[in-house]
Amino acid sequence: MVVEILKEKDIPELHDVIEKTCRISFAPYYPQSVIEDTINSLNCEKLKERAGWTHFYVIKEEDKIVGCGAIGAYWGSLTESSLFTIFVDPDYQGKGYGRVIMETLEADEYAKRASRIEIPASLYAIPFYRHMGYEHKNGVLTFEDNHFALEKFTGNLD
């Protein structure tokens, strides 16, 4: 297992992993239109753009991308950060790859400077993020823009 910063040459392969994950893991939870919107919103150009303003990591197994995650500033804040684009190939889910991605993101400088980290979560991922210490934003389950907002207070900058 190798965790590294996303390289531009890896973006098409990463998009394929995201598309596969959406089609398989999201299918029981979302209508097809939402799945298609999610896949389209994370096309190769959008992934490249996101990699420009976040620290975007991929996790590889034998040179094959099996997961990803990104962290950046929360709306430009110096004391809050957001997690983005966390996906694990369905063939690798439940084997610790998601935990490795989360630990990598939470060790990143964006997380270390933050007193609060927010994540826009899919319904499918809420149990995992809650297991990782994230709670519903402001204690309220709110669905907006096809995701649920979760947050974690880090204790940094107290």
Domain ranges (residues) in the chain: 2-153
Each residue's pLDDT tens digit, 57-70: 999 999 999 999 99
What is the structure's pLDDT at 25?
A: 95
Closest to 66 (Cα-Cα) out of 128, 132, 2: 2
C-alpha–C-alpha distance, residues 150 and 135, integer Å: 5
Tell me the pTM: 0.93
The one-letter amino acid at 29: Y
CATH fold of the domain at 2-153: Aminopeptidase (3.40.630)
Give yes or no for a contact between 68 and 87, defined as CB atoms under 8 angstroms apart: yes
Each residue's pLDDT tens digit, 34-87: 899 999 999 999 999 999 999 999 999 999 999 999 999 999 999 999 999 999
The one-letter amino acid at 28: P
Give yes or no for a contact between 101 and 59, defined as CB atoms under 8 angstroms apart: yes
Chain-wide mean pLDDT for the chain?
Answer: 94
What is the structure's pLDDT at 144?
A: 75
What is the structure's pLDDT at 123?
A: 87
